């Protein structure tokens, strides 16, 4: 697997640029907003509050934002987390994997800015 294929697991820049009409400056600005967001913190807070609806909503928000930015690994894990929360399944392993993928994605964003 080439490094571009490996990178696309986390960030599909080519797809993302199509979404923003090739506007690299806009995409970088949106990535900055993603990095500044408290998405994982919001999910953890909702989860600790014992409210599955809030937790699912926060996971859904992260899913939408990551899909729009073509942050593929975070998107996929957000979908999985949302589904687990809605079905009442234990989501601790999924959340841990999401947090790890989120951290790696933020690192990769820093590399492309």
Residue-wise pLDDT for 76-105, tens only, equals 999 999 999 999 999 999 999 999 999 999
Residues in CB range of 47: below 8 A, 6 or more apart: 55, 85, 91, 95
Is there a contact between 101 and 79 (Cβ–Cβ < 8 Å)? Answer: no
Residue 4 clears pLDDT 70, i.e. is over it: no
Pick the CATH number of 3-112 from 1.20.120.160, 1.10.3720.10, 3.30.2130.10, 3.30.70.360: 1.20.120.160
Residue 8 clears pLDDT 70, i.e. is over it: no
HSE toward the beta carbon, residue 52, CA cutoff 13 A: 11
């Amino acid at each position: 697997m080439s490094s571009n294929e490996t990178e696309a697991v986390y960030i599909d820049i080519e797809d993302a640029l199509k979404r923003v009409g090739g506007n690299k400056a806009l995409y970088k600005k949106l990535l900055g907003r993603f990095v500044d967001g408290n998405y994982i913190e919001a999910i953890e807070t909702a989860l600790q509050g014992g409210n599955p609806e809030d937790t699912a909503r926060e996971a859904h928000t992260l899913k939408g934002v990551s899909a729009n930015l073509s942050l593929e690994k975070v998107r996929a894990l957000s979908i999985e987390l949302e589904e687990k929360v809605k079905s009442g399944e234990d989501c601790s392993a999924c959340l841990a994997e999401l947090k790890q993928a989120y951290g790696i994605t933020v690192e990769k964003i820093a590399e492309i800015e």
